[in-house]
Amino acid sequence: MTSRRDFLASSATAAAAITTAMGQTAQNTREADRDHSSSNPGQSNTGLVALNPNSNMPPPTDHGAVPPIWYSFDLTHRRVQEGGWTHEVTERDLPDSKEIAGVNMRLTKGSYRELHWHVADEWAIMLKGNARVTVLSPDGSMFIDDVAEGDLWLFPAGYPHSIQGTGDDGCEFLLVFNQGSFSEESTFLISDWLKHTPPDVLQKNFKLDAAAISKLPKGEPLYIFPSDPPHQTLAQDRAESASHAPASKQVFTFRPSQMKPTKESENGHLRVIDSHNFPASTKIAAGLVTLKPGGLRELHWHPSGSEWQFWIAGQGRMTVFNAKEAARTMDFHANDVGYVPSMAGHYIENTGTTDLVYLEMFATGKYSEVSLNQWLRALPAQVAMAHTNLSAEDLARIPREANAIL
């Protein structure tokens, strides 16, 4: 015989099951309605939709208006010359990116990016191949070095420099400038300057006769042009330069592969490069991130300003929270550029089957970030519980330390 207690218990269980079923049915109905509401029986760019499913069908957590956070070098115009090519992503493409612009460039073997200088600092990473770089400091000292895949350089604003492809197939590199409006079309080129200086002034300046001055390049500036690979070794070039100018005491190149990761876990690692370990880089800081499949760059933000990203390999997604109930999720692939407004919270998740590698760039000499996990664990438990409705046991399971890679 069933007791009253057993009857009430079984009734409560049945009621709970009915409620759960009704809730699941309602959820399924809402999802079906949402799927139907988001259907697009008309025209679409199917290739672009396939690359960015989180934009085409955003997660329900997305809301409000967030400034553009995605662009791709593959959407830009490439300037192709004999000897290589270049294209750029600036604030014209990402209007809110006022602090940083990027240029992707290739030089064939022996080809030069001609002698020039900029109004902004130039930070660079070698993506493929090898190159030889030179830079003259205002004190008259000369720096010459060879760089390979993964190596960096930093040329301060106003310091004249050159780049020459030396690998078997030349090189390709990314240039980052601490000026959102920067354009490769407006650099100070030596051939452009000489062409626009009266020949008699050039004779006086160089102590050369008219016949010699007539040999100087004419027509369009050289910009990128083919030439022979270096005839001398690095040591020989340095020795030749030392006979005319002192060697620079400042080091303008850096090799991240030789440094221990700043943060590391079984899911990936982060290498921070800023003025602490690369003294020449006083105005640009970087984080080089590798995420294993399924890995997560934890929820965080940067107090030092906006973040400009270059995605080197793999694929992932990022949600940017920009206050005022505004959040936007986008998908990213190799050769894409990401942008995170100053102070905006975000994460990056590897959604592919291979390692995700990308750069975080900041227009500051010192890298800094704030971890959401670390913040919640550092608070008195009562404060955190009041704001999140989590129990003390729940809070205790949240990672206590800032852990860039989860």
Domains of the chain with bracketed CATH: 74-254 (2.60.120.10), 259-397 (2.60.120.10)
381 burial type by CB count under 10 A (0-12 exposed, 13-18 middle, 19+ buried):
middle
Q: Is the pTM of this model over 0.85?
A: yes
Please identify which of the residues 88, 172, 307, 360 carries the catalytic annotation. Answer: 360
Query: At residue 254, does pLDDT exceed 70?
Result: yes
Is 90 exceeded by the pLDDT of residue 241? yes
Residue 19 has pLDDT above 90, yes or no: no
What is the per-residue pLDDT across 352-406, written as a single tens digit (0 to 9) for each?
999 999 999 999 999 999 999 999 999 999 999 999 999 999 999 999 887 778 8
- Is residue 4 scored above 70 in pLDDT? no
Q: How confident is the model at residue 3 (pLDDT cuts 50, 70, 90)?
A: low
Contacts of 369 (CB under 8 A, 6+ apart): 300, 301, 302, 303, 402, 404
pLDDT on residue 186 = 86
* pLDDT band at residue 344 using 50, 70 and 90 as cut-offs: very high
Do the Cβ atoms of 348 and 314 come closer than 8 Å? no
Annotation marks residue 172 as catalytic: no
pLDDT category at 6 given cuts 50, 70, 90 is low
Name the band, by pLDDT with cuts 50, 70 and 90, for residue 8. Answer: very low
Measure the CA–CA gap between 346 and 371, rounded to whole angstroms.
Answer: 10
- Write the DSSP assignment of 259-302 as a string of letters: S--SEEETTEEEEEESTTT-TT-SS-EEEEEEE-TT-EEEEEE-
> How far apart (Å, rounded) are the C-alpha atoms in residues 235 and 241?
10
pLDDT given at position 360: 98
Strands 370-371 and 296-301: antiparallel
User: Phi and psi (nearest 5°) for 212?
Assistant: -70, -45
- Cα–Cα distance between 208 and 186 in angstroms, integer? 29
Question: For residue 124, which amino acid is it?
Answer: A
pLDDT digits (tens, 9 = 90+) for 184-237: 888 999 999 999 999 999 999 999 999 999 999 999 999 999 999 999 999 999
Pick 5 or 314 by higher pLDDT. Answer: 314
CB 135 within 8 A of CB 143: yes
Per-residue pLDDT of 267-277, as tens digits, reads 999 999 999 99
